[in-house]
Amino acid sequence: MTVWYADRTAGRPARAMIGVTLLALLLVAAVPVALLAAVVMMMLGYVVGGLAVFGGSVLAAAVAVALAGVSGMRHLRKLLSGDSFRVVWLDAGQDTGVAEPAGTGYSSVVRLDRSEYSEVR
């Protein structure tokens, strides 16, 4: 295999995040099926069992979605704080390096010097 292929494969935390997300999606998709099964059980006389089936499926889906959200935020923070994602945060006084356009073609534009800029916070 080539080097770029090894760098592009997902690591263990990324695979875990994908797995938790897929589990959450599967459990959320199963809630309508559980509702249908609960209604059938209630029509057959098993009211408490039907409520338990539906309540358990909603509870499991909510826990899976919360777990996916928490682990996703943790994974995102780890990506942003690590060396793998190179982001340089600019201070207020740093220049972005983007040159201003020379001429815009508008006659009503007022040109300001750098000393005339006001900083709004």
- Residue 91's pLDDT band, with cuts at 50, 70 and 90, is low
19 belongs to a structural domain: yes
Q: Is the pTM of this model over 0.75?
A: no
Residue-level pLDDT at 14: 76
3-state secondary structure of 20: helix
92 belongs to a structural domain: no
99 belongs to a structural domain: no
**CB-based contacts of 14, cutoff 8 Å, min separation 6:** 75
* pLDDT digit string, tens, across residues 44-88: 999 999 999 999 999 999 999 998 888 888 877 777 776 655 556
Residue-level pLDDT at 119: 67
Residue-level pLDDT at 50: 93
Query: Domain count of the chain?
Result: 1
* pLDDT digit string, tens, across residues 7-37: 556 677 778 888 888 988 998 999 999 999 9
CA torsion angle 66 70 73 74 (round to 10) = -160
114 belongs to a structural domain: no
